[in-house]
A and B are shown apart, each in its own frame.
Chain A
Amino acid sequence: MTVIDIPFRVDEICKKYDKYDIEKQREQNAYGDDQFARLYGTFESEIDSAFEKSERAAFEQNRAVSVALNAEIRRTKARLVAELPKLQKLAHKKVKGLSKDDLIARGDLVLALQERIESIPDGTSGGAKQSAGGLSTSAPNNNHIKFDSSDGNFDADYFQQSEESGAFRREYEMHRMKQDEGLDVISEGLEQLKDLTHDMNEELDRQVPLMDEMEMKVDRATSELKNTNVRLKETLFKVRSTRNFLIDIILLCIILGTVSSDATRRQPKFFIPTLATKDNAHFRVVIFPDGAFKSIIPFRHGCVMCQASYYPPQGHAADPIKFAALPW
């Protein structure tokens, strides 16, 4: 058996032998059968708690808290006072196990209880303390309206309250003034905004039909532009066909040829390139100064043969002196 088990076991044993505990039984029995006793018990507990609260209220600095506590106490007292007659009725009931003396004693107990309830301090006994200096709040039970508070203690409290409340009131007024000023500024700004937005609204309304017209015109213009583009593409396509390109190139070559021939007529030029043919025979091209050129293919026997000669258009004969038979 461990240490932890000990208390459990002890409890079990106590529970078992509780029925032999006379006092406890009496209490339970008494409370179980005797309504008076039960009620009395609750009364006592409530009175005790009320006393505690009143003590706390007496020492409380914060007036709000003390006022709240006192109000609670008063509520409790009123409730208890209302339930006292019930207790009295129960007191006169006969319960088994009680003697006549006990019954009388119960009646006395009830009366004593009543006195006790009324003796709980709830703040109304010190009436002048509750009355405010500057403000008009006062406890509802306060019937002591003193115009002439000659009590020295109350005077001290009196001035303290009026100072505080006066300061609070001044602060409140100041805040309210500041708020009013701020609200004035805001309202001015809002007025300006309103005027501006009204003007903007009208301007936009004015421009809506203009935009519609513009849209229509721009649409028309774009469609016309598209049409024109398509037609232009077709035209260009026709102009740029391949056949026309070739013709252009050939004509260009001819023109260049004529131009170059005209340009080179007066200058002597020997230009002898070597060209190779298919069967590895060499032939040379000789260009005469007048623009004619001959291609020369050699034969085995050393004689030459001219082929593919070109004569200049003006019929100048090739100058035979310049004709060169070249060794190779």
Chain B
Amino acid sequence: MSTSEPDKLMIKADKMTKLTLTRWNADWRGATDLYEQAAVAYRRANDYEKAKIAFEKASKGQEMLSSPWDAAKHMESAASLAKDLKKWNEVADFYRRASELYNECSRAQPASDALMKGARALEETAPEEAIKLYTDACVLLEEDGKEQMAFDLYRAATSLYIKLEKYNDAASFLLRLGLAADKCNATNSQCKAYLGAIIVYLYAHDIEQAEKCYNDCAEINAFQGSDQNRCAVKLLTAYSEADVEEIKRVAQSSTITHLDHAIIKLARKLPTGDVTARNEASKEQEEPLDENDLT
């Protein structure tokens, strides 16, 4: 029977690793080989549970043989199998372990890739966990000085936040993206990130926050001379004048069409809520100032 073959291999490998009276040193090399063979055989037979276990043990064996690269690879395979089995907590653990092992090899890129795969797998079911994984992945890349790879991660994390309707977090992530872009002189991405942040604030109907954000961003030279800056100005003036038609027209413009998909969707839905209240609110703010000035 073909299914018993990998079983036999597993048993043999287990025997090799167990320390008994007759065996003083565990034979990890042979055991790892057997584990790998068993895992492949299980996977072919679509027995994912046992394959996952076999991969875990193979990875442990590779660790003992001090080859973290192979160990990490096996861990990743185990994690993808766990994903198929829908064991989400195991998925997260495995991917984290894989990324640690990659870090041991001092290879930051695959480490963050592992975390990214984990995050993508967990997007639907455990979004907070996914966001944590994304954040860790971004941190890894930034430490290694490869911010450019982090753009995709930031964008994915932002869209996840928007899906969760955590707009403040989304906007702050976009600002972080802008910072990373600034470090690698990617001015276009930077300006797009800032415009995206402003739009997210406007969508959350937090106009003061949006204006504050705009004022912060306007001090950056790269943003000042860009199309996105002009677009942001138009949008904010349209808001302050409570001109709904103008807002809609700006939202259709090509500058916004080149942003991220999630942000375009938000922009098309502007304006949210009542725009006319803006002018009255600003007037109320002015009066206490006048009193202070007089006295």
Interface residues of A (CB under 8 A from B): 188, 191-192, 194-195, 198-199, 201-202, 205-206, 209
Contact = CB atoms under 8 A, between A and B. Distances in A.
| Interface SS of chain B | helix
Given A205-B148, A206-B149, 10 more contacts: A191-B255, A192-B254, A192-B258, A194-B227, A201-B188, A202-B148, A202-B186, A202-B188, A205-B184, A205-B185
Contacts of A191: 227, 254-255
A191 B185 CA distance: 21
B189 A202 contact: yes
Interface string B197-233: 0000000000000000000000000000001000000
Contacts of A201: 188
Contacts of B185: 205
28 contacts: A188-B254, A191-B227, A191-B254, A191-B255, A192-B254, A192-B258, A194-B227, A195-B188, A195-B254, A195-B255, A195-B258, A198-B188, A199-B188, A199-B258, A201-B188, A202-B148, A202-B186, A202-B188, A202-B189, A205-B148, A205-B184, A205-B185, A205-B186, A206-B148, A206-B149, A206-B151, A209-B146, A209-B148
Contacts of B254: 188, 191-192, 195
B117 to A, nearest CB: 19
Contacts of B149: 206
Contacts of A199: 188, 258
Contacts of B255: 191, 195
Task: List the 4 closest A-B pairs by CB distance, nearest first.
Answer: A198-B188, A195-B258, A206-B148, A191-B254
Contacts of A202: 148, 186, 188-189
A224 B255 CA distance: 51
A207 to B, nearest CB: 9
Interface residues of B, number: 13
A188 B227 CA distance: 13
Contacts of B189: 202
A195 B184 CA distance: 18
A194 B226 CA distance: 12
Contacts of A188: 254
Nearest to A196: B258
A51 B149 CA distance: 88
Interface string B19-43: 0000000000000000000000000
Nearest to A199: B188
A113 to B, nearest CB: 73
A307 to B, nearest CB: 64
Interface string B162-197: 000000000000000000000011101100000000
Contacts of A205: 148, 184-186
A209 B254 CA distance: 31
Contacts of B227: 191, 194
A201 B188 CA distance: 9
A191 B188 CA distance: 13
A202 B227 CA distance: 17
Contacts of B186: 202, 205
Nearest to B253: A191
A244 to B, nearest CB: 35
A203 to B, nearest CB: 9
A194 B254 CA distance: 11
Contacts of A194: 227
Nearest to B181: A202
Contacts of A195: 188, 254-255, 258
A253 to B, nearest CB: 43
A205 B146 CA distance: 12
A192 B257 CA distance: 9
B266 to A, nearest CB: 19
A227 to B, nearest CB: 23
Nearest to A201: B188
B143 to A, nearest CB: 16
A195 B146 CA distance: 24
A104 to B, nearest CB: 86
Interface in B33-81: none
A191 B226 CA distance: 12
Nearest to A213: B109
Interface string B243-281: 000000000001100100000000000000000000000
A223 B227 CA distance: 49
A209 B145 CA distance: 11
A258 to B, nearest CB: 41
Nearest to A194: B227
A194 B257 CA distance: 13
Nearest to B145: A209
A188 B185 CA distance: 26
Nearest to B191: A198
A199 B151 CA distance: 12
A209 B258 CA distance: 26
B71 to A, nearest CB: 21
Nearest to B226: A198
Contacts of B146: 209
B267 to A, nearest CB: 15
A195 B226 CA distance: 11
A16 B146 CA distance: 108
A198 B222 CA distance: 14
A11 to B, nearest CB: 85
A198 B228 CA distance: 13
Contacts of A192: 254, 258
Contacts of B151: 206
